[in-house]
Amino acid sequence: MSKKILILGANGFIGSSLSWAILKNTDWEVYAFDMSDKKLAHCLKNERFHFFEGDVNIHKEWIEYHIKKCDVVIPLIAIATPTLYVQDPIRVFNLDFESNLDIVKKCVKYGRRIIFPSTSEVYGMCQDKAFDEYESNLTLGPVPKERWIYSCIKQLIDRVIWGYGNHEGLDFTLFRPFNFIGPKLDDIKNRKEGSSRVMTQFLHNIINDKPIKLVDGGLQKRSFTFIDDAMKCMLKIIENKDNCASGRIFNIGNPYMEFSIKELAEMLIEEISKYKGYENIAKTVKIETVSSEEYYGKAYQDVAFRVPSIKEAEERLGWKPQTDLRTAIRLTLDYHLLGKDYELEQ
């Protein structure tokens, strides 16, 4: 039977990619909600896509009605940019915690399935070689390091959802994205320093002749995950064959794509120089080192590495990421520099 999927925050990076992946690969209906539809042009043409432009704190009745009406609820409305954790932690709390808790409670009330975005940030400064959903400790810094508010909020919501699942029958899945990258991650135009995720920030700086800034030298590592791989995993979670995803937590990441931020910068420069107009970029681009305090302020604390264990997703969902970093960079550059949309061309 065709499922009805409610996606709150459908215009974001994950929301827009997921909406398109659903329309392309399934016969499900998508009820989409966001403040803007800028990234949804191709979805809007599909008759299974129903978009409503609204604000999560104002259009509560629309949301409640659609929670009742749909089979699966995916609340993606959140601030997920490290600079803002430090600059405006209360806004992060109001949106990421309070607004989302309301939605979780409505899913409990109406007996709806919820697929909720946790975050790889919940593991914080955990020292495990690969972070395990059920075994790894979630290790956060002190309160004045305000950057941890996001991680802490997500961790509490994870625990609330888990509690509703275990004690009040909520059908849930938590997923933890590990540095998803790809075409629609942030807007690369008019980005203020620190306002977007690392890959988009670097791209913006290169294109606008600004120096690339390596925070603390860029030796910290991340596992980058191409959005297409991640969405394949999401589809399996939504499909929930034989309840394989119910009551579970899944890291969605690519343990085979662990690179330092410096290596990411180098690869990006190498790849960009293959595009017309950017042939000399390797010689002209400036790379600077800045301290994290200078870049983000005193309330920041970095994570040195973060590698997911994806055993749970491999075993329960039969999923494995396929795309290497160079290909992910190339597809992202094709989108920004050549206006190619790989999703539409496949």
Sites of contact with ligand UDP (CB under 6 A): 82, 179, 197-198, 201, 213-215, 218, 220, 222, 261, 302
Nearer to ligand UDP, 6 or 303 (CB): 303
CB closer to ligand UDP, 49 vs 123: 123
Distance CA 251, CA 222 (A): 14
Neighbours of 111 (CB within 10 A): 11
In angstroms, what is the minimal distance from the CB of 155 to ligand UDP?
15
Minimum CB distance to ligand UDP, residue 294 (Å)? 11
Q: Which is nearer to ligand UDP, 201 or 309 (CB)?
A: 201
Using alpha carbons, list the distances in angstroms from residue 324 to 117, 226, 236, 267, 318: 24, 8, 21, 12, 19
Q: Give yes or no for a contact between 253 and 271, defined as CB atoms under 8 angstroms apart.
A: no
> Whole-number minimum distance, CB 302 to ligand UDP, in Å?
5
Min separation Cβ 207 and ligand UDP, Å:
14
Which CB, 179 or 323, lies closer to ligand UDP?
A: 179
Q: Residue 36 in contact with residue 184, Cβ under 8 Å?
A: no
Q: CA separation (Å) from 129 to 218, 311, 313?
A: 19, 14, 18
Provide, rounded to whole angstroms, the least separation between the CB of residue 2 and ligand UDP. 36
Distance, CA of 149 to CA of 81 (rounded, Å): 12
State which residue, 109 or 298, has the beta carbon closest to ligand UDP. 298
- The least distance separating ligand UDP from the CB of residue 200, rounded to whole angstroms, comes to 8
- Work out how close the CB of 196 gets to ligand UDP at its nearest, in angstroms, rounded to a whole number: 7
Decide whether 202 or 278 has the Cβ nearer to ligand UDP.
Answer: 202
C-beta of 168 vs 294, nearer to ligand UDP:
294
Looking at the Cβ atoms of 275 and 295, the one nearer to ligand UDP is 295
Q: How far is the CB of 167 from ligand UDP (least distance, A)?
A: 32
What six digits make up the tokens of 97?
Answer: 């915690």
β-strand pairing of 225-226 with 180-181? parallel
CB of 205 to ligand UDP, least distance (A): 7
Nearer to ligand UDP, 83 or 309 (CB): 83
